[in-house]
Amino acid sequence: MPSKPRLKPEHALATPGGFSIIKNLLIPVILLVALFAGLELLARTSFAERLLPLKSFGNYHTQFEIKLQKLEEFARVNDGVDVILLGNSMVNTGIDPQILAQQLSSSDQPLRIFNFGVEGLTVIPMADLATLLVDTYHPKTIIYFTEMRDYLAGNGDDVAQIFLSSDWLQYRLGKRGFLGWLEDHSAALQRLLPLRYWSRADFPDTWLQNMRRYSNTHPDGYEPEIQVSDFDGKLPDPHNTEDQKLFALYGNYAIDPARLEKLRSLIMLREKGTWIVVAEFPAYPGFYTYFGGEQVHADYLSAIADYTREQGGMFLVPISPDLIPLSGRADDHHLNEIGAKLYSGLLAQQLNILCQVQGICLEGK
Amino acid sequence: MAVTSMLFFVSALAAAVVYRRMPARARTPWLLLISAAFLAAWNWQFVLVLAVFGLVNYWLGLKIQNRILSGTLVWKVTGIAFNILILFVFKYNRFFLPSLLKLVGGNEQASALQILLPIGLSFLMVQMISYLVDVSHGRLKAERDLVKFGVYILYFPKLVSGPVERARLFLPKLESPLPFNRDLFDRCLSLIITGLLRKLVLANPLFSLIPADAFTNPGTYAGQHLVLYLLAYAFALFNDFAGYTGIVRGISLWFGIELSNNFTLPYFSRNFTEFWNRWHISLSNWLRDYLFFPISRALLKRVPRRENALNLILPPLATMLVSGMWHGLGWNLLVWGGLHGVYQVAERLPGLVHPSVPLDQRPRWRNALGISVTFALTLLAWLPFRMNLPTAWAYLQRMFHWVRPDFFLFGRYLKAETPWLSWSPLNLPNPILLVLLALALGFDLLLKAQAGEKDLWALPRWLQVLLEVLLGLAILASVFVDATAPFVYQAF
């Protein structure tokens, strides 16, 4: 056990340098300011872009930030954007804008179409996100792909809450704040923020994963699902524990009126000059078993279509899901690369017919 | 209220400015008031519990004082028992309450009978025991001024996690606080900046770089990673507690009250006796003075030979077992204490054969070996400190199962022959963790080489500025990162 300590008393320590208010406080502050100014200049060069390709606005949804960065670049290169395809992960991997643009015959020039499918976002954050996109990029059309889960009370609320609480998003939606302003204006901060998770144990993996997703995402926002699926089209099994969770989550399906209100605010963006089309993505029919079967789905579809039209929006009748073979599906609601090619073509056909028969055409520049 | 929060700093600074400007007679009541307010900011009920706790000890102190001539044993024992009982009721109840309730036929689940654990109770308990013992031995007169006694208990810089202060050293400081001058200002700033560096730049990131399940499910990690996580834990724990102590000592100096030092680069200790002179010094000194020495003296009275086996083994072992129990009731902490007891017994054994050479007179190689062995054994002892015994054992075994890193794939990544996919399959250490460990070790080596222990202003100026810039960056970064870790020792 310890003997009496032999260490020197603290006050006896030599302090040859000593403390100086100017040297110890002012110089570090000046150095920090100079460092930030230098970083800000550096961040605006192509060198910084090569060194740290990912940008962040402080939002926790990295895939959303990748999409936003790609859209910014897309609009810059193409001098704007005509059509934004909005929706969740089903849209992200399910529609190739390049194929869609090539096969659309409504315009002389190929339309500038961007895929803004963001994982896990329901109609609640989408309404605000659409406002942001319309205010920033003024697209001629937004096709919003919605689905049953968007209107299920409570579903995705946690993601929506975190997503919407971002200082930057709030700033861009009109709520003034210093952090939001800084995240919006500082190029250095935008380049450094993706590194903010550096002290997490999984940082090396997530960083590489994000970089991979960034490079896999096409300049037009499409992120192909390259995994070969073993989806065999079997129906959900009420005895399977994993399926039971989904039955519990989606069973007793009812449309939440508060969420319909969000859809309304999204449709109302037409008042800002953007044409809003509401559509449904062709999930595998078995997917609707969780919600109570095909009839519940049909009732939902009819309710959403009526509501959209009542609000002055346009509802695009979904294609038959049978047109997409199992080999084109990654699971019961996502498409893989094969399915995405197929569906993009089918969607183009559908829009072409709409243009030819009803004269409702997607517009370009 | 976290001591690294802006609110804490601003409130403490405002309180110190008022304190320095008020008449001397009003200063102690002011300290009591702000300390109670600080405590109430955690939970107002803590103030009531600690007020009662303090009043009983105040009364016990007076009782002992009044019986100095007629014998104080009964009151002293009552006082010690009271404080230990309080600790058991408030802190250790979850260990015995369910069984007790079951025994009397109650619902075992009534352990949901949440008993409020006031912050810093373990620290207060040892301070109260030393106060009562010192009064009974006539080393200190019982404090009659209730306000001063209240400040001794509640003084906010030391309330949450110490340092453990002796009343006989602390109370006189209330009478004559250090004047605020340039020297004091320098020291305050040095302590606070060093503390913040340790906490924000080293401890917090080191803690969060350890995967959440590494200490609960070690079987899923390769041995080389587990070694690294244990190293990270050791440095994080030290920097966390040393950082906290530095900050509160610096803040206390604003009020002119010097608190005890708790750490002097413990991982450079050449043996375990030295380690316990450098690690949590205020507590280990307390254990030395109120346990180790009394036990040693009692044993020497019985058999007055130092070489006697019992005289050799019992004092360090009993002291370290109590130290383990003080940290919490659990077999793992008892094993942690027991290991340190055994280490100390083992290093006393050679002294029986030949007289031991003082550390300062030993050759350099022997001291280097001593530092390495002491550090390695300390590291092993952190296993039961951090996790339960079965997991600690599994962790220890798994530490020797190294998995060969995939250098081939790493080489292909580096040569850009394949895109970087993920890091984990490489089985290489997290490079950020390595950098931080190097930074933690480097910081201590610098302080050791340049300043003896911890005076930032004794370092070369360029290094001071560099460290301050680093701290500035860490503080700014913390605005954007939500990865703050609470001080580990607040759990005690």
| Cross-chain CB nearest to A17 (options B277, B432, B461) | B461
Contact between B431 and A204 using a beta-carbon 8 Å cutoff: yes
B438 three-state secondary structure: helix
Of A122, A120, A98, A118, the residue nearest A110 (C-alpha) = A98
Is B232 in the same domain as B162? Answer: no
Contact between B316 and A1 using a beta-carbon 8 Å cutoff: yes
Closest chain A C-alpha to B344 CA, distance in angstroms:
7
Per-residue DSSP letter, B359: G
pLDDT for B323? 95
- What pLDDT tens digit does each residue of chain A (365 aa) get? 544 444 444 433 334 455 666 777 788 889 889 999 999 999 999 999 999 999 999 888 999 999 999 999 999 999 999 999 999 999 999 999 999 999 987 667 789 999 999 999 999 999 999 999 999 999 999 999 999 999 999 988 988 888 898 999 999 999 989 999 999 999 999 999 998 888 888 889 988 989 989 999 999 999 998 766 678 888 888 888 888 999 998 988 999 999 999 999 999 999 999 999 999 999 999 999 999 999 999 999 999 999 999 999 999 999 998 999 998 999 889 999 999 999 999 999 999 998 888 888 887 76
Instruction: Answer positive or negative: Cα dihedral of A225, A231, A234, A237.
Output: negative
Is B258 in the same domain as B271? Answer: no
Of B487, B370, B389, the residue nearest B3 (C-alpha) = B487
Closest residue on chain B to A189 (Cα)? B480
Contact between A196 and B465 using a beta-carbon 8 Å cutoff: no
pLDDT exceeds cutoff 60 at B487: no
B290 and A CB contact within 8 Å: no
Q: What percent of chain B has pLDDT over 90?
A: 61
Is B156 in the same domain as B254? Answer: no
Is B38 in the same domain as B161? Answer: yes
Is B285 in the same domain as B385? Answer: yes
Contact between A24 and B276 using a beta-carbon 8 Å cutoff: no
Closest residue on chain A to B471 (Cα)? A28
Is B100 in the same domain as B164? Answer: yes
Is B20 in the same domain as B159? Answer: yes
Q: pLDDT tens for residues B14-53? A: 999 999 999 999 999 999 999 999 999 888 888 998 999 9
Other CB atoms closer than 10 Å to residue B17's CB: what's the count? Answer: 11
pLDDT for B473? 83
Total number of domains in chain B = 3
Evaluate whether A340 touches A93 at the Cβ level (below 8 Å). Answer: yes
Q: pLDDT tens for residues B146-173? A: 999 999 999 999 998 889 999 999 999 9
Strongest mean pLDDT among A28-32, A42-46, B117-121, B479-483: A42-46
- Give the confidence band of B481 by pLDDT, cuts at 50, 70, 90: low
pLDDT for A5? 44
pLDDT for B178? 94
pLDDT exceeds cutoff 60 at B350: yes
Closest residue on chain A to B292 (Cα)? A1
pLDDT exceeds cutoff 70 at B235: yes
- Give the confidence band of B485 by pLDDT, cuts at 50, 70, 90: very low
Cα separation, A188 vs A182, whole angstroms: 10
B479 and A CB contact within 8 Å: yes
Rounded to two decimals, the pTM is 0.84
pLDDT for B453? 45
Is B169 in the same domain as B227? Answer: no
Is B375 in the same domain as B306? Answer: yes
B287 and A CB contact within 8 Å: yes
Is B367 in the same domain as B466? Answer: no
Chain B partners of A18 at a C-beta cutoff of 8 Å? 186, 457
Contact between B432 and A203 using a beta-carbon 8 Å cutoff: yes
pLDDT for A11? 39
Contact between B292 and A27 using a beta-carbon 8 Å cutoff: no
CA B173 to chain centre: 23
Supply the CATH classification number for the domain A55-358: 3.40.50.1110
Is B31 in the same domain as B109? Answer: yes
**Helices B223-254 and B6-21, axial angle in degrees (round to 10):** 20
Which residue in the block uniquely carries the two structure tokens 């009993």? B318
pLDDT for B336? 97
Which residue in the block uniquely carries the two structure tokens 């077992």? B321
Closest residue on chain B to A23 (Cα)? B465
Domain coverage including residue B23? 6-175
A50 and B CB contact within 8 Å: no
A357 and B CB contact within 8 Å: no
Cα separation, B11 vs B17, whole angstroms: 10
Q: pLDDT tens for residues B59-93? A: 999 999 988 777 778 888 999 999 999 888 888 77
pLDDT for A363? 76
Chain B partners of A196 at a C-beta cutoff of 8 Å? 477, 480-481
In a domain, B491, yes or no: no
Of A282, A274, A270, the residue nearest A347 (C-alpha) = A282
Is B79 in the same domain as B158? Answer: yes
Give the DSSP letter string of B32-94: HHHHHHHHHHH-HHHHHHHHHHHHHHHHHHHHHHHTTTT--HHHHHHHHHHHHHHHHHHTSHH
pLDDT for B106? 62
In a domain, B1, yes or no: no
Evaluate whether B229 touches B213 at the Cβ level (below 8 Å). Answer: no
**Does the predicted interface ipTM exceed a cut of 0.85?**
no
B175 and A CB contact within 8 Å: no
Which residue in the block uniquely carries the two structure tokens 């975190």? A162
In a domain, B296, yes or no: yes
